[in-house]
Copies of this chain bind each other. A is one copy, B any other.
Amino acid sequence: MNAETPAPTTGPGTRERIVRATSRLLQRQGFEGTGIKQISREAQATLGSVYHFFPGGKQELAAEAIRHGDQEFADLLREGLGSTDDPALAITACTRLLGEALRESDWQDGCPITTTALETVGRAPVIEQAVAEAFAHWRAVVEEKLHGAGLPLADARDLAATVINTLEGAELAAQIARSEEPLHVAGRHLARLVDTYRPGR
C-alpha cells in the first residue's frame, strides 16, 4: 500500500483490508500482542469501521483472520500438490513453496494461525473453532491428493495429519534457524514416508 495515496477508510474494500491486516499481525506477533488500534492503523480504517464490521471485537476479528489464513495456506498447499501427479513429490513441492514464502518475508510470515492458536488454547471458543476448522481443511486437501493418487483412505487420512503437523513444526524450525533447510529435510522424509504406503513399492 502506497503511503502517498492512502486507501479510503470506508467502502467495499475496508472489511477485507481489516481482515488482511489482522491476519498479518496475528501471524507476526500473535493475539495477545495485537491491539484493535494497531489493526485499525495497519488497515487504514477507522476504529469505528473496525467495530462496525466486527462488533464482537478482537476475538471475532481473530476468528475471521484465521479463516483468511486458512484459505491462504490451503491455496499454497493446492499449488504444491497440483504441481505433479506423484504424491511424494507433491509433498516436497509444498515444502519448497513454504520455504520460498518464508524466505521472502525475512522469516516473519510463518503459519498464519499457530501463534494465536497456542495463546488461546482452552480460553477462546470462537477462535478455537476457527483454528480446528483450518487444520481440518488443510488435512482434507492433503488427504484428497494422497487418496486420489491411490493410497488407501485410512492411510491417506493418517498421513495427511502427519504431513500438516510436520510442515507446522518444520516451518517453526525454519523461522528459528532463518533457513529453508528444516523444510527441505521434512520434504525428503515425508516423501519417503508416503512412498512406503504406495501400492507395489
Contacts and interface: CB of A to CB of B under 8 A. Distances in A.
Interface stretch (A1-9, A16-24, A70-78, A114-122): A114-122
Find the residue from A107, A135, A176 having the highest chain B CB count within 10 A. A176
A182 B138 CA distance: 14
Interface residues of A, number: 46
Contacts of A28: 121
A32 B38 CA distance: 15
B118 A189 contact: no
Contacts of A117: 172, 175-176
Chain A interface helix/strand/loop/mixed: helix
A186 interface: yes
Given A161-B182, A162-B166, A165-B182, A172 B29 contact: no
B164 A169 contact: yes
A108 interface: yes
A182 B176 CA distance: 24
A128 B107 CA distance: 13
Nearest to A111: B118
A185 interface: yes
Contacts of A123: 29
A101 to B, nearest CB: 14
Interface of A: 28-33, 106-108, 110, 114-115, 117-119, 121-123, 128, 131-132, 135, 158-159, 161-162, 164-170, 172-173, 175-177, 182, 185-186, 188-189, 192-193, 196
Given A108-B122, A161-B185, A166-B166, 7 more contacts: A29-B32, A117-B175, A118-B172, A128-B176, A164-B173, A165-B169, A168-B168
